[in-house]
Structure 1
Amino acid sequence: MRDILIAGAVALILSIIGTPLAIRIFSRRGIGQNIREEGPSGHHDKRGTPTMGGTVFVLAAILGFAAAHLATWTPPTASAVLVLLLMAGLAVVGFVDDFIKIYKQRSLGLRSGAKALGQLIVGAIFAVLVVRFPNGYGVTPAVPRLSFLRDFGPSIGIVFFTIWVLFLIVGFSNAVNLTDGLDGLASGATCLVLVAYVIIGNWQLRNSCTSMLGKGCYWVRDPLDLAVVAAAVLGALLGFLWWNAPPAKIFMGDTGSLALGGVLAGLAVTTRTQLLLVILAGLCVLITLSVIIQVGFFKMTGRRVFRMAPLQHHFELSGWAETTIVVRFWLISALCVALGLGIFYVEWMPNA
């Protein structure tokens, strides 16, 4: 528990202090947001707002995690390092995308193919490394399986599992990216999901197969350190949200949104809660579905289901105030997290 508190506190302090410094530096260097001309008219006032704020909370999270291990004199675990590397790798892809936008003064950065390729390369490295680590407890499960896997494991084959992990990483990094359309929306919603993963990591630690050799235990490698990762990213993101809440003084950019989606996918894979993430991050899934429905329906009929996609822009054009949309979507996210945690607990109960 001390590791979790230290990681979250250090990351929070670094982020809440570092973000205004980044705002000043980015403003002086003209690192500002470009706005799509076809977007809601109210967004044009946000043109020039400093972006790439994701660099701050990504660094703060990594430093917070490192501080927790230095303070407790414990080495980092393979699970945690893999999730942090996934976050950093996707942040680099997002950084390149943001840099092109700023350099060329346009709202589009990397071409979709190049961006997807970057996500796939980072995701493939993560997926390959995940299956290389055996169960960390030194105990053989009744049904042999790789330590990281839950919903889909070796039963579907390593190749298909790798494809599944890639789907999660690309899917959720893009889902958070689509959610990042209003001030504080993506950062606030992701904070709630990270709270869930702090709880899940603690629960799995207390009910791990190191101390419980019956059916009611979890075959998860390094659950405590995964909770530390979630706490570090949570603390860093809360510090950033202080400045990103409406009206935002800085945007996270693709640097931040791709990194956050990667963290969620990485935590889902390493805690073996892959399908549960669909519920925990239900708001991101709903927003992504709105884009899929809009594009698919328009291609088939030439008509639109929503005034504009992603979904938050539909409500903007319907006359809702931005803060109203953000707060109500946060409430939807909180309900999704509560439902997901309830399912997680109920799933454990029959085996206890």
Structure 2
Amino acid sequence: MISILLAGAISMVLTLLGTRWAISILKRRGYGQEIRDDGPTSHHTKRGTPTMGGTVFITATIIGYFAAKILTQRPPSASAVLLLFLFAGMGAVGFLDDFIKIVRQRSLGLRSKAKLAGQTIVAVAFAVLALQFPDERGQRPASPFISFIRDIEWLHLVPVLVVVWILLLLAGMSNGVNLADGLDGLATGASMMVFGAYTLICVWQSNQSCKTMAEARCYEVRDPLDLAVVAAALTGALFGFLWWNASPAKIFMGDTGSLSLGGAVAGFAVLTRTELLVLVLGGLFVIITASVILQVSYFKLTKRLYGVGRRIFRIAPLQHHFEMLGWEQVNVVIRFWIISGLCVAMGLGLFYAEWVAG
């Protein structure tokens, strides 16, 4: 438990101080955000705001985790190292995307195929490695079963399909957080809630682990307590980053941050056997992603049927639709945070109810 507190505190302090330093450096070098021309006009004032802030909380999370391990003299676990690899790897793909935007001064960075290829390489490497490293009980970081709150016994997959399933989950969630990162503090606050929830889930799974108790309700998760340390480090880092990212944002996380956060959310789902529960915990990201899918699908369908494409929303993703309706940006963010909080509360409720029901 001391490791959890240390990781969260160290990461938060590092991000609070490091982000201020990063803002100064990025401003001097002219590493500012490019704004899409078809979005809300109010966003044009944000052009030039420092971006790639995700590098700060990625660095702070990794330092916070390993500092906690050193101070408590406990070795890192395979699950935690794999999660940090996924977190940093997705962030590296996002960093390339952000860097191209800045150098070429455009709102689009990596081409969609190149971006997807980078995400695929990182995700496949994570999936393959997560099926290795059995512990003394033969438990591996990832499971060959699709899971909700535990492994679903009749949804057993062969290794190739496990990799495909993890790839789909990672791609969906990383792009979901990426789509949510359109308003000051929105993705930061929502992600912070999800990682806070995973801190609680991992601590609970550790207390009820099959390694220490032989009950039908115990959890077959390889390294739950160490995953709680990573979750706490992420939560603390995002607390620190939100200080500077809240409206009016002094810095944006960029794709560096959003892709890494989405990858980490999906990584926790895989490593804690909550792959379907994460759709509830990260419900806000699912809703925002669904709004884009619906908008594009409806536009293409109506264009094919009537020759003119029609839209469900004024603009997608969903948060910008409400901006176009005249909502203040701060109101949209706070109300979407409330939705995210409700989703997290529902997910935690389902998790606990399943344990109580046995």
Q: Same fold (TM over 0.5)?
A: yes
Give 2:305's aligned residue. Answer: none
1:216 paired to 2:210? no
- SS in structure 2 opposite 1:48? coil
Give the stretch that moved more between structures: 207-216 or 322-331. 207-216
How far off is 1:133 after superposition? 2.2
Q: CA RMSD in A?
A: 1.2
The one-letter code of the counterpart of 1:151 is I
Matches within 5 A, 1:65-104: 65-104=65-104
**Structure 2: how far apart are the matches of 1:94 and 1:210?**
38
Contact 2:15–2:237, Cα closer than 8 Å, also in 1 = yes
How far off is 1:350 after superposition? 2.5
Give 1:331's aligned residue. Answer: 338
Q: Which runs of 5+ in 1 are unaligned?
A: none
**Structure 2: how far apart are the matches of 1:106 and 1:28?**
19
How far off is 1:39 after superposition? 0.8
Give 1:279's aligned residue. Answer: 280
**Structure 2: how far apart are the matches of 1:36 and 1:139?**
52
Give 1:114's aligned residue. Answer: 114
**Which consecutive segments of 4 or more residues in structure 1 shift more than 2 A?**
145-154
Contact 2:170–2:267, Cα closer than 8 Å, also in 1 = yes
**Structure 2: how far apart are the matches of 1:82 and 1:231?**
16
- SS in structure 2 opposite 1:273? coil
- SS in structure 2 opposite 1:181? coil
Which of these residues, 146, 151, 155, is aligned with residue 151 of structure 1?
146
Q: Which runs of 5+ in 2 are unaligned?
A: 303-308
Contact 1:3–1:72, Cα closer than 8 Å, also in 2 = yes
Give 1:194's aligned residue. Answer: 195
Contact 2:97–2:255, Cα closer than 8 Å, also in 1 = yes
Query: TM-score normalised to the size of structure 2?
Result: 0.95
**Structure 2: how far apart are the matches of 1:206 and 1:307?**
48
Contact 1:180–1:186, Cα closer than 8 Å, also in 2 = yes
**Structure 2: how far apart are the matches of 1:103 and 1:282?**
34
- SS in structure 2 opposite 1:151? strand
Contact 2:180–2:288, Cα closer than 8 Å, also in 1 = yes
Aligned length: 345
**Structure 1: how far apart are the matches of 2:75 and 2:212?**
21
Contact 2:53–2:254, Cα closer than 8 Å, also in 1 = yes
Query: TM-score normalised to the size of structure 1?
Result: 0.96
**Structure 2: how far apart are the matches of 1:108 and 1:290?**
21
**Structure 2: how far apart are the matches of 1:281 and 1:313?**
19
Contact 1:147–1:219, Cα closer than 8 Å, also in 2 = no
State the percentage of identical aligned residues.
Answer: 59
Matches within 5 A, 1:22-101: 22-101=22-101
1:230-280, Cα deviation, whole Å (9 max, x unpaired): 000111111000000011000000000000001101111001111000000
Matches within 5 A, 1:230-245: 230-245=231-246
Give 1:227's aligned residue. Answer: 228
**Structure 2: how far apart are the matches of 1:146 and 1:19?**
36
1:61-98, Cα deviation, whole Å (9 max, x unpaired): 00000110011001100000000000100111000000
